[in-house]
Structure 1
Amino acid sequence: MFSLKALQKNKTVRYGVPMLLLIVGGSFGLREFTQIRYDAQKIRRKLDPSLEAKVSIQRQPVMLEEEYEKMKETNLDEWKNIRGPRPWEDSKEYQEQQRSRQNKEG
Protein backbone atom coordinates (compact mmCIF):
# COMPACT_ATOMS: atom_id res chain seq x y z
CA MET A 1 0.00 0.00 0.00
CA PHE A 2 1.92 3.02 1.27
CA SER A 3 5.62 2.98 1.25
CA LEU A 4 7.81 4.63 3.86
CA LYS A 5 8.98 7.27 1.39
CA ALA A 6 5.43 8.25 0.59
CA LEU A 7 4.70 8.80 4.31
CA GLN A 8 7.85 10.88 4.72
CA LYS A 9 6.78 13.19 1.91
CA ASN A 10 3.28 13.65 3.30
CA LYS A 11 3.07 17.10 4.96
CA THR A 12 0.45 15.99 7.49
CA VAL A 13 2.62 13.20 8.77
CA ARG A 14 5.77 15.28 8.61
CA TYR A 15 4.49 18.43 10.35
CA GLY A 16 1.00 17.77 11.74
CA VAL A 17 1.63 14.63 13.80
CA PRO A 18 4.68 16.03 15.64
CA MET A 19 2.74 19.24 16.31
CA LEU A 20 -0.20 17.30 17.78
CA LEU A 21 2.17 15.21 19.89
CA LEU A 22 3.84 18.38 21.16
CA ILE A 23 0.52 20.01 22.09
CA VAL A 24 -0.99 16.94 23.76
CA GLY A 25 2.27 15.93 25.46
CA GLY A 26 2.89 19.50 26.59
CA SER A 27 -0.50 19.74 28.28
CA PHE A 28 0.18 16.56 30.25
CA GLY A 29 3.65 17.79 31.18
CA LEU A 30 2.35 21.17 32.34
CA ARG A 31 -0.31 19.46 34.43
CA GLU A 32 2.37 17.49 36.27
CA PHE A 33 4.53 20.56 36.89
CA THR A 34 1.61 22.64 38.18
CA GLN A 35 0.56 19.80 40.46
CA ILE A 36 4.02 19.87 42.03
CA ARG A 37 3.57 23.58 42.67
CA TYR A 38 0.22 23.15 44.41
CA ASP A 39 1.49 20.21 46.48
CA ALA A 40 4.41 22.34 47.70
CA GLN A 41 2.01 25.13 48.70
CA LYS A 42 -0.12 22.69 50.70
CA ILE A 43 2.94 21.45 52.58
CA ARG A 44 4.00 25.01 53.38
CA ARG A 45 0.55 25.94 54.70
CA LYS A 46 0.36 23.13 57.23
CA LEU A 47 0.72 24.47 60.76
CA ASP A 48 1.71 22.83 63.99
CA PRO A 49 -1.53 21.60 65.66
CA SER A 50 -0.91 23.60 68.86
CA LEU A 51 -0.24 26.76 66.84
CA GLU A 52 -3.26 26.11 64.67
CA ALA A 53 -5.46 25.89 67.78
CA LYS A 54 -4.20 29.28 68.97
CA VAL A 55 -4.82 30.84 65.57
CA SER A 56 -8.35 29.46 65.33
CA ILE A 57 -9.20 30.87 68.78
CA GLN A 58 -8.07 34.35 67.75
CA ARG A 59 -10.21 34.32 64.60
CA GLN A 60 -13.48 35.63 65.89
CA PRO A 61 -15.89 37.41 63.58
CA VAL A 62 -15.63 41.18 63.81
CA MET A 63 -18.92 42.98 64.13
CA LEU A 64 -19.17 46.34 62.42
CA GLU A 65 -21.22 47.84 65.23
CA GLU A 66 -18.59 46.90 67.84
CA GLU A 67 -15.84 48.52 65.80
CA TYR A 68 -17.98 51.62 65.35
CA GLU A 69 -18.47 51.90 69.11
CA LYS A 70 -14.70 51.62 69.65
CA MET A 71 -14.09 54.41 67.15
CA LYS A 72 -16.70 56.65 68.81
CA GLU A 73 -14.82 56.35 72.11
CA THR A 74 -11.52 57.59 70.65
CA ASN A 75 -10.74 61.28 70.90
CA LEU A 76 -9.76 62.42 67.42
CA ASP A 77 -9.27 66.05 68.41
CA GLU A 78 -6.00 65.24 70.18
CA TRP A 79 -4.76 62.93 67.41
CA LYS A 80 -1.56 63.98 65.69
CA ASN A 81 -0.14 62.70 62.42
CA ILE A 82 3.50 61.69 62.81
CA ARG A 83 5.35 60.50 59.75
CA GLY A 84 7.65 57.50 59.90
CA PRO A 85 11.32 57.55 58.98
CA ARG A 86 12.37 57.47 55.34
CA PRO A 87 14.38 54.44 54.15
CA TRP A 88 17.58 56.50 54.08
CA GLU A 89 17.04 57.92 57.59
CA ASP A 90 18.21 56.18 60.76
CA SER A 91 15.02 54.96 62.44
CA LYS A 92 16.44 55.07 66.00
CA GLU A 93 17.61 58.64 65.59
CA TYR A 94 14.28 59.65 64.04
CA GLN A 95 12.31 58.07 66.90
CA GLU A 96 14.39 60.00 69.43
CA GLN A 97 13.67 63.25 67.58
CA GLN A 98 9.95 62.54 67.60
CA ARG A 99 9.97 61.70 71.32
CA SER A 100 11.85 64.88 72.17
CA ARG A 101 9.35 66.96 70.13
CA GLN A 102 6.42 65.32 71.90
CA ASN A 103 7.97 65.99 75.31
CA LYS A 104 8.50 69.66 74.46
CA GLU A 105 4.92 70.10 73.19
CA GLY A 106 3.19 67.97 75.84
Structure 2
Amino acid sequence: MFNLRTLQKNKTVKYGVPMLLLVVGGSFGLREFTQIRYDAQRIKKKLDPALEAKVNIQRQPNILEEEYEKLKEVNLDEWKNIRGPRPWENSRDYQDQQRSRKNKQD
Protein backbone atom coordinates (compact mmCIF):
# COMPACT_ATOMS: atom_id res chain seq x y z
CA MET A 1 0.00 0.00 0.00
CA PHE A 2 2.13 2.87 1.29
CA ASN A 3 5.77 2.77 0.75
CA LEU A 4 8.46 4.79 2.49
CA ARG A 5 8.95 7.18 -0.43
CA THR A 6 5.34 8.41 -0.37
CA LEU A 7 5.55 9.02 3.39
CA GLN A 8 8.75 11.06 2.92
CA LYS A 9 7.01 13.27 0.34
CA ASN A 10 3.99 13.87 2.54
CA LYS A 11 4.22 17.40 4.05
CA THR A 12 2.29 16.43 7.17
CA VAL A 13 4.73 13.68 8.01
CA LYS A 14 7.74 15.76 6.97
CA TYR A 15 6.87 18.98 8.85
CA GLY A 16 3.81 18.40 11.03
CA VAL A 17 4.89 15.38 13.06
CA PRO A 18 8.29 16.86 14.06
CA MET A 19 6.58 20.12 14.99
CA LEU A 20 4.03 18.28 17.10
CA LEU A 21 6.80 16.31 18.82
CA LEU A 22 8.71 19.54 19.48
CA VAL A 23 5.70 21.27 21.04
CA VAL A 24 4.63 18.33 23.20
CA GLY A 25 8.21 17.37 24.13
CA GLY A 26 9.07 21.00 24.89
CA SER A 27 6.12 21.23 27.24
CA PHE A 28 7.35 18.28 29.27
CA GLY A 29 10.93 19.56 29.19
CA LEU A 30 9.92 23.03 30.41
CA ARG A 31 7.91 21.49 33.20
CA GLU A 32 11.01 19.68 34.46
CA PHE A 33 13.19 22.80 34.27
CA THR A 34 10.65 24.98 36.07
CA GLN A 35 10.27 22.33 38.76
CA ILE A 36 14.02 22.51 39.37
CA ARG A 37 13.68 26.29 39.78
CA TYR A 38 10.91 26.03 42.35
CA ASP A 39 12.72 23.28 44.26
CA ALA A 40 15.81 25.49 44.49
CA GLN A 41 13.72 28.41 45.79
CA ARG A 42 12.12 26.16 48.40
CA ILE A 43 15.55 25.06 49.64
CA LYS A 44 16.76 28.67 49.87
CA LYS A 45 13.72 29.71 51.89
CA LYS A 46 14.37 27.24 54.71
CA LEU A 47 15.32 29.19 57.82
CA ASP A 48 17.29 28.42 60.92
CA PRO A 49 14.81 27.07 63.55
CA ALA A 50 15.63 29.83 66.05
CA LEU A 51 15.14 32.52 63.41
CA GLU A 52 11.95 30.86 62.19
CA ALA A 53 10.52 30.96 65.73
CA LYS A 54 11.18 34.71 65.89
CA VAL A 55 9.54 35.25 62.52
CA ASN A 56 6.46 33.27 63.54
CA ILE A 57 6.12 35.33 66.72
CA GLN A 58 6.11 38.53 64.67
CA ARG A 59 3.47 37.15 62.30
CA GLN A 60 0.84 36.87 65.03
CA PRO A 61 -1.99 39.25 64.21
CA ASN A 62 -2.39 42.31 66.41
CA ILE A 63 -5.61 42.81 68.23
CA LEU A 64 -7.74 45.63 66.86
CA GLU A 65 -7.95 47.40 70.21
CA GLU A 66 -4.15 47.51 70.50
CA GLU A 67 -3.87 49.18 67.10
CA TYR A 68 -6.59 51.65 68.07
CA GLU A 69 -4.68 52.59 71.23
CA LYS A 70 -1.54 53.20 69.18
CA LEU A 71 -3.46 55.49 66.81
CA LYS A 72 -4.97 57.44 69.72
CA GLU A 73 -1.47 58.40 70.84
CA VAL A 74 -0.54 59.85 67.44
CA ASN A 75 -1.23 63.57 67.05
CA LEU A 76 -2.91 63.89 63.66
CA ASP A 77 -3.86 67.55 64.03
CA GLU A 78 -0.30 68.74 63.40
CA TRP A 79 0.27 66.41 60.48
CA LYS A 80 1.14 68.01 57.15
CA ASN A 81 1.17 66.38 53.72
CA ILE A 82 4.48 66.96 51.92
CA ARG A 83 4.78 65.83 48.34
CA GLY A 84 7.83 64.03 47.06
CA PRO A 85 10.06 65.32 44.28
CA ARG A 86 9.01 65.01 40.67
CA PRO A 87 11.16 62.82 38.40
CA TRP A 88 12.69 65.89 36.74
CA GLU A 89 13.49 67.59 40.07
CA ASN A 90 16.69 67.01 42.00
CA SER A 91 15.59 65.17 45.13
CA ARG A 92 18.39 66.59 47.34
CA ASP A 93 17.53 70.18 46.44
CA TYR A 94 13.83 69.51 46.95
CA GLN A 95 14.39 67.91 50.37
CA ASP A 96 16.54 70.85 51.48
CA GLN A 97 13.85 73.24 50.26
CA GLN A 98 11.14 71.38 52.21
CA ARG A 99 13.27 71.36 55.37
CA SER A 100 13.91 75.08 55.12
CA ARG A 101 10.16 75.77 54.70
CA LYS A 102 9.40 73.60 57.71
CA ASN A 103 11.99 75.38 59.85
CA LYS A 104 10.60 78.80 58.81
CA GLN A 105 7.06 77.76 59.79
CA ASP A 106 8.17 76.52 63.24
- Give the structure-1-normalised TM-score: 0.70
Q: How does 1:16-95 map to 2 (within 5 A)?
A: 16-79=16-79
Structure 1 position 59, deviation (Å)? 1.9
Structure with higher RCO (Cα < 8 A, 6+ apart):
2
3-state secondary structure, aligned to 1:47: coil
Which runs of 5 or more structure 1 residues have no equivalent in the other structure? none
Which secondary structure state, in structure 1, belongs to the residue aligned with residue 61 of structure 2? Answer: coil
SS at match of 1:68: helix
In 2, the alpha carbon distance for the partners of 1:104 and 1:13 equals 83
CA-CA distance at 1:72 after TM superposition: 1.3
Q: How many percent of aligned residue pairs carry the same amino acid?
A: 76
Cα gap change, 1:77/1:8 in structure 2, threshold over 3 Å: closer, same or farther?
A: same
Q: What count of residue pairs does the alignment treat as equivalent?
A: 104
Query: Which runs of 5 or more residues in structure 2 are unaligned?
Result: 85-89
RMSD, aligned CA:
3.0
- TM-score by length of structure 2 reads 0.70
Q: Partner amino acid for 1:3?
A: N
Supply the AA of the counterpart residue of 2:75: N
Q: d(CA) in 2 for partners of 1:18 and 1:80?
A: 67
Following the alignment from structure 1 to structure 2, what is the Cα–Cα distance between the partners of residues 77 and 17?
73
**Cα deviation, residue 47, structure 1:** 0.4
Secondary structure, counterpart of 1:75 in structure 2: coil
Distance 1:2 1:81 in 2: 82
Counterpart code for 2:19: M
